[in-house]
Amino acid sequence: MLLSYIFVVVFIGSTSPDWSPITRGIFLLPYGFTFAGIGLNLLRENIPNNVTSFVFCWIIILIIATLNVYQSQIGVFVDENAGYTGMALLIRSLEQAKRDHKNILIVISPSMNISKYTWALPYMTQAYNLDEVSYRIIQPNELHCSKANSTLLFFKEDNETKNRLKQIDCIKQTSTMLSPRIPFF
């Protein structure tokens, strides 16, 4: 099991993008391997025929491995934001702003689900060593021309922000529309 874990960590580390949320998965892998081993052992013990249980366990392993390889190695290239939450996309944008030395203005409507979790962003920026990145979180009605000297981040589903951006014609900075595929924060 240890050899399998080391192989998977090296494989994920060598084939994944170079941004922080990927590393969280690597630390959770031992739990997945442990629970998978327990589950496969229970299946093997509960199927009376040894050959049938062996074949059945290998079929399950191959199906899961095939789906995982497709999702993590093929599906990611089809859609850049596949499988990421809004908070993960915010962290990725802040990491890019750190490299580019840019200020970030995050516009989120109160009706958006992620607005309930923005209190955690300062803790996450600290955890990802993004303390020196200058960012502000505002609501769409607070967006004015005087705040137009930053890179603007907003969410694709945030219609209130998109309507406000159409009303303001003085914004000349770059803006990024984030499209999370996981409908949580």
- pLDDT greater at residue 49 or residue 148: 49
Average pLDDT over residues 139-164: 79
178 touches 89 (CB < 8 A)? yes
- pLDDT greater at residue 159 or residue 1: 159
Q: Check whether 20 has a pLDDT greater than 60.
A: no
- pLDDT greater at residue 147 or residue 112: 112
Strands 175-178, 135-138: parallel, antiparallel or unpaired by DSSP? unpaired
- Of the candidates 164, 119, 120, which has an alpha carbon nearest to the alpha carbon of residue 140? 164
CATH class of the region 86-178? alpha beta
Structure token pair of residue 140: 């769409």
- pLDDT greater at residue 5 or residue 129: 129
Confidence band for 149, pLDDT divided at 50, 70 and 90: low
| Domains in the chain: boundaries | 2-78, 86-178
